Amino acid sequence: MQEAQEGVIKFQYEHFPGPLKAPRDLLLELMAWRAVLRELTLIGQEAGLYDEAGYGNVSARLPPYQAERGERRFVITGTQTGGLACTAAEHFCVIDSYDTNKNQVRSGGPSLPSSESMTHGTVYDLDSRIRFVFHGHARLIWPLSAELSMATSRASVPYGTPAMAQEVRRLYRETNLPEERIFSMGGHEDGIVSFGETAQEAGSRLLNALVRARMILGGRDQRICDSRPESKSSLV
């Protein structure tokens, strides 16, 4: 067992290096969504942000889908890949088993597990129908979580810990999380997690929240701006 620590995350992992054992089409779908989320800066790595650590990650469950908790498997982006413009199989790993109570992960593949693997595992444990989990950092959505009626984990709960797993289970019992399938991580700056039975569902939950956040800000400011520079029309 080795210990992984980034920011406030700490979990134990046992990793077996080797080729990635995940279906090619599933991997392509994950990589395509990851690229879109990175274009939107929900995934990335930036100077001056989050101690310059790469942020955001995507995962997909692997069969057998009826597996019990603790035996569920998923493929996830590797640690510190947020800054990469291009990903390939070598940037992923398979979580073969995880224990959210003991905070332990067993993984295999070409990359070491994302430090947020435990968060993904916690979500898969909520319902065996959940097949995709996306975690992004959204500066537009996070401060508006309450206005967006978004389930929010308590800020006092350190993420990536067994207490956070309990907190996510509480949100699933007590809030709109089973229907909305998106929540805000109160103690993890800008952290948003969405999930779904398809990648399209997990992705569109995030995109919808972005649109709704812009609508709230637009209502306040009477206009809506994006972050790209204005185009200059040039007459010849």
- Is residue 191 a contact point for Zn ion (CB under 5 A)? yes
Instruction: Provide the minimum distance between the beta carbon of 9 and Zn ion in the complex, in angstroms, as a whole number.
Output: 9
Site size with Zn ion, rule: CB under 5 A = 2
Does residue 194 contact residue 203 with C-beta atoms inside 8 Å? Answer: yes
Q: Which is nearer to Zn ion, 55 or 98 (CB)?
A: 55
Q: Find the part of the chain contacting Zn ion (CB under 5 A) among 52-60, 79-87, 200-208, 220-228.
A: 52-60
Instruction: Provide the minimum distance between the beta carbon of 7 and Zn ion in the complex, in angstroms, as a whole number.
Output: 8
Which letter does DSSP use for residue 220 in this model? H
Number of Cβ atoms within 10 Å of the Cβ of 47: 5
Q: What are phi and psi of 194, to 5 degrees?
A: -125, 160
Q: Using alpha carbons only, what angle is made at residue 81 by residues 40 and 205, rounded to the nearest 5 degrees?
A: 35
Q: Which is nearer to Zn ion, 29 or 190 (CB)?
A: 190
Q: Which is nearer to Zn ion, 108 or 141 (CB)?
A: 141
Tokens of 2: 């080795």
Q: Find the part of the chain contacting Zn ion (CB under 5 A) among 95-103, 124-132, 186-194, 209-217.
A: 186-194
Q: Which residues from 129-168 bind Zn ion, rule CB under 5 A?
A: none
Rounded to the nearest 10 degrees, what angle do helices 117-124 and 162-174 cross at?
A: 40
Q: Which residues pair with 183 in a beta bridge?
A: 151, 193
Between the two ends of the chain, the Cα-to-Cα distance in Å is 66
Instruction: Provide the minimum distance between the beta carbon of 200 and Zn ion in the complex, in angstroms, as a whole number.
Output: 22
Q: Are strands 132-137 and 151-153 parallel, antiparallel or unpaired?
A: unpaired
CA 48 from centroid of its chain's CA atoms: 21
Q: Which is nearer to Zn ion, 45 or 128 (CB)?
A: 45
Q: Which is nearer to Zn ion, 160 or 196 (CB)?
A: 160
Q: Find the part of the chain contacting Zn ion (CB under 5 A) among 32-40, 93-101, 183-191, 199-207.
A: 183-191
Instruction: Provide the minimum distance between the beta carbon of 164 and Zn ion in the complex, in angstroms, as a whole number.
Output: 12
Does residue 40 contact residue 58 with C-beta atoms inside 8 Å? Answer: no
Cα separation, 81 vs 172, whole angstroms: 29
Q: Find the part of the chain contacting Zn ion (CB under 5 A) among 6-14, 31-39, 104-112, 191-199.
A: 191-199
Q: Which is nearer to Zn ion, 108 or 150 (CB)?
A: 150
Instruction: Provide the minimum distance between the beta carbon of 191 and Zn ion in the complex, in angstroms, as a whole number.
Output: 5
- Starting from the edge strand earliest in sequence, which strands make up the sheet with 104-109, in order? 2-6, 9-17, 104-109, 92-99, 73-77, 57-62, 132-137, 191-196, 182-185, 151-153
HSE toward the beta carbon, residue 83, CA cutoff 13 A: 10
Q: Which is nearer to Zn ion, 55 or 124 (CB)?
A: 55
Q: Find the part of the chain contacting Zn ion (CB under 5 A) among 2-10, 28-36, 93-101, 187-195.
A: 187-195
Per CB under 5 A, residues contacting Zn ion are: 55, 191
